[in-house]
Amino acid sequence: MNLKEIEEMIKLMNENKLCEIEIEKNGLKIRLKKEGISVKRIIEEPTAEESHKQQPPEKTGEDAGGKKIIEIKAPMIGTFYRSPAPDAQPFVEVGQTVKPDDVLCIIEAMKLMNEIKSETAGKIVQILGESGGSVEYGQVIFLLEPAE
């Protein structure tokens, strides 16, 4: 799928007042979901044979001190950004407390900026994504100590 086809999907969504559209072509499945007035997320879904290889976006474990740690993983392939603009402050820093729906970063995929939000309240323990660097689906980008 190329950018023109994605733009046509967005146009189709807008013309028909759709909130979500999913199209499969040549084994690639693309789903666009609209939140508010702009398209916020684009997610590449695995095909049936790949689905058993995929990992959930968050995984709970423990650090060396026995504290519960949640791995926040990239939900898509793209470019990782810690801040909304090059000269802006990062969304989060190590040690910062976050709550559900707080924006942690942006992942750019196919020229769309996708806000990645926390699903859990807690404290950022480590930031593993490098601003401006590539991330893969399922790659750990943050470690979070959940609030008790």
8-52: per-residue pLDDT in tens? Answer: 777 777 777 776 777 777 777 777 776 543 333 333 444 444 444
Given pLDDT bands bounded at 50, 70 and 90, which one contains residue 64? Answer: very low
- Predicted pLDDT at 5: 77
Q: How many Cα atoms occupy the beta-carbon half-sphere of 140 within 13 Å?
A: 15
Nearest to 144 by CA among 69, 67, 90: 69
Torsion 89-93-96-97 (CA) sign = positive
The CATH code of domain 55-146 reads 2.40.50.100
- The residue among 3 and 98 whose pLDDT is bigger is 98
pTM beyond 0.85: the answer is no
Are residues 78 and 134 in contact, defined by beta-carbon separation less than 8 angstroms?
yes
More confident residue, 60 or 113: 113
Most confident of the ranges 7-16, 67-76, 92-101: 92-101
Q: What are the boundaries of each domain within the chain?
A: 3-52, 55-146
pLDDT of 53: 41
Q: What integer pLDDT is reported at residue 110 of this predicted model?
A: 85
